[in-house]
Amino acid sequence: MKKPVSISRCTASAPISELPRAFVRHIAALVTVLAAGACASLGAPGAAVPDRPGYTDTPTALPARAVELEAGWTDDRTAAAPGIAGTAYVTVGEALLRVGVGARTELRVFGNSFATSRTDGTPTVRGMEDVKLGAKINLRAVPDGVHSLLPSAALLVAATLPTGASGISAGSAQPEVKLAVSWTTPSPFSVYANAGLGSFETASGRVTRQWTSVAGWWAVSPKVSVYGEGLSIGRVSGNGGGASSNDIDAGATYLLNDRFQIDVRVGRGVGSALSRERFIGAGFARRW
């Protein structure tokens, strides 16, 4: 139901990498091809459990042999203001391949997107974003019919590889760790929350940034759900600077069948620095 947070928006532009780009690119491509090829022989009963379209991941890990592909499109624009240039960042792809490898663990390959980045008065930059590899490990699973004060919980770990295009890539590996939790209620309402910590490189050295997000979901019918969500990204800790930022968004999902979901969303930035930001998106999730 929800989209993973990317810390790429928090990175600096200085390209720093400890591994040759060609080597990393070839290894990442090989992992992606092998994972995609596995779809022909894998499969498990059960409905789709997407992490898109919002920022907040679910704590549910796919069961062993299950495969799920999630993908989408987002158009994020910030209007110009006196003394401030307008920007646009459009992503097509947002690919996430999830493969269950145990009762409580899934592997995750983020092919990510072809991105177009434009700032008024400067040349447009286009190319692929960085690949990201990760895993989700379920720590506590609570059945939907059980309404416990202790939530379902999972630990998510991941790291980007500097495989993207110049001007799009972060230029160095970006590891991150995240805790995802959820609560159900006797009503059709449920709550999801994430707390994450990521590290990235700047010209002044490696720094960290934390973020939190909370999403409330309402099941309108067995096929239709709607949600509202807030994301807060904290200031950089360590060498360097950077302001905090906040976003809110809302959207809806529709199940074409138990294994195929489509989604739409719309959102905006919150606060004086991001009040002119607006974004829209759409996508799908397909389970095998």
147-176 per-position pLDDT tens digit: 889 999 999 999 999 999 999 999 999 999
pLDDT value, residue 12: 32
What was the pLDDT predicted at 150?
95
pLDDT at 49: 94
Residues in the chain with pLDDT < 50?
1-20, 22-24, 26-27, 30-31, 33-35, 37-40
Q: Report d(CA 120, CA 207) in Å as an integer.
A: 28
Residue 169's pLDDT is 95
pLDDT digits (tens, 9 = 90+) for 67-120: 999 999 999 999 998 888 999 999 999 999 999 998 899 999 999 899 999 999
Confidence at residue 19, expressed as pLDDT on a 0 to 100 scale: 40
- Percent of the chain scoring above 70 in pLDDT: 83
The span from the CA of 70 to the CA of 57, in Å, is 13
pTM: 0.83
